[in-house]
Structure 1
Amino acid sequence: MGRLKITDRTDWEVAVVYANKDRHTRRTVWDDISKYHTMGVPLLIGGDFNCIMAQAEKKGGKAFHFSPAAGDMADFMLTNDLVDPGFNGPSFTWTNNKDARSSIFSRLDRFLVSSSILDVFQGLKVKHLTRLASDHCPILCCLMEDVKKASYHWIKFEDVWAS
C-alpha cells in the first residue's frame, strides 16, 4: 500500500492486488489492506482479485454460486467503503485459453474505489483493454475531475428581423 498526492488535494492510499486463488490466503490480503488503510482517506485498489462477485462476471465452466470467498470480498468492500465503478470494454478480463467448448471467461481484474473518490471524480472511468499476450486483459483507471461546462445560449439571427 502506498500514498498518492493528487494536485493540491489530500493524499490517497493506493494498493495493487494480486490475490491468491486460495480463499484463506486471499482473506489475509483483505485483512492487511483493512488494517493499514486509514479510514477517511480515499482508497484506490486495482489488480487481479481472483474472485467473481456475480453470474454476469463468468462465462463457461461450472455454474456460478455466490461463494464464501465472494462473501469475504463483499465484507472487505463494505468495511472499507469501496465500490466497483464499473468499466468499458470487454466484459471478461481473464480466459483459460482453451478451445471453444472448454473455454472459461471471468472478470477477475478490477478497480475498487472509495465512494468519496466518485463524489469528486465523477468522470472516473475504468477501461478493460484488449488482451494481447497474457491470459488477462490490462485494465486502466482514468481520473478526470468533473468539470462544469459553460453554457452557451445561441441566438440564430434571421436577416428578415432587420427589415
Structure 2
Amino acid sequence: MEKFSLPNAFDWEIAIVYADKDRYCRKHVWEDISRYHNMESPLLVGGDFNCIMSHEEKKGGKTFHFSPAANDMGEFMLDNDLIDLGFIGPAFTWTNNKDARSRIFSRLDRFLISSSILDSFQGLKVKHLTRLASDHCPILCIVKEDVRRNYSHWIKFEEVWASYPNA
C-alpha cells in the first residue's frame, strides 16, 4: 500500500491489485489490504479484481450466480467503507478472445474508494479505455479536487408560467 497526497488535501492510501483467480488467494489480498489500511485515511483500490459482483458485469458463458468469492469481495468493500465508482466507456474490461459463439466478456477491473471522501472529490471519474493488444481494457482513475457545481440562488421566472391555470 502506498501513500498519495494532493496539495491542500489529506493523505490517501492506494492499493493496486492483481487478484488471483483462486478465491482463497484473493481473500488473502483483501485481508492484507484491510490489515494494513489505516481507517483514518481514505483508501483507493484499483486493478484487476478477477471477480464480478452482478449479472450486469458479465456477458456470455455460464449464467452468473452470486458466489462466495463475490461475497468475500463485498465483505472487503463493506469492512473498509469502499464503494465502486462506476465508469465511463465500455461496459466490460476483459474478454476471453474466443470466437463469437464462445466469447465471454466481464468487468474484472475497477476502482473502489472510501465513501467518506466523495463529497470532497466530486470530480473523481473512472474511464475504461479501448482494449488494444491485451485481453483487458486499461482503466484510468481521474482525480480532481473540489470540482463542485455552482448553483444560482436566484429563481428565474418566465412570464408564460403565469398563463397556466391553477391546479
Regarding TM over 0.5, the answer is: yes
- Partner SS state of residue 102, structure 1: coil
For normalisation by structure 2, the TM-score amounts to: 0.88
Is it true that 1:126 corresponds to 2:126 in the alignment?
A: yes
User: 1:107, 1:14 → 2: CA distance?
Assistant: 21
Q: What is the match of residue 147 of structure 2?
A: 146
Q: What is the match of residue 38 of structure 1?
A: 38
- What RMSD over aligned residues (CA atoms) do the two structures have, in Å? 1.4
Q: What is the match of residue 90 of structure 1?
A: 90
* Range with bigger deviation, 4-13 or 87-96: 4-13
Return 5+ residue gaps in structure 1 as ranges. Answer: 154-163
Tell me the CA shift for residue 117 of structure 1: 2.3
User: What percent of counterpart residues are identical?
Assistant: 69
Per-residue Cα deviation, 1:40-65 (whole angstroms, up to 9, x for no partner): 21000110000000000000000000
- Partner SS state of residue 122, structure 1: coil
Tell me the CA shift for residue 140 of structure 1: 0.5
1:8-47 alignment to 2 at 5 Å?
Answer: 8-47=8-47
Tell me the CA shift for residue 115 of structure 1: 0.5
- Partner SS state of residue 119, structure 1: coil
User: 1:104, 1:33 → 2: CA distance?
Assistant: 29
User: 1:150, 1:79 → 2: CA distance?
Assistant: 35
Contact 2:12 2:43 in 1 (8 A): yes
Tell me the CA shift for residue 81 of structure 1: 0.1
Tell me the CA shift for residue 150 of structure 1: 7.6
Q: Read off the aligned partner of 2:138 and give its amino acid letter.
A: P
Q: Read off the aligned partner of 1:95 and give its amino acid letter.
A: T
- Partner SS state of residue 47, structure 1: strand
Per-residue Cα deviation, 1:37-90 (whole angstroms, up to 9, x for no partner): 001210001100000000000000000000000000000000000000110100
- Partner SS state of residue 75, structure 2: helix
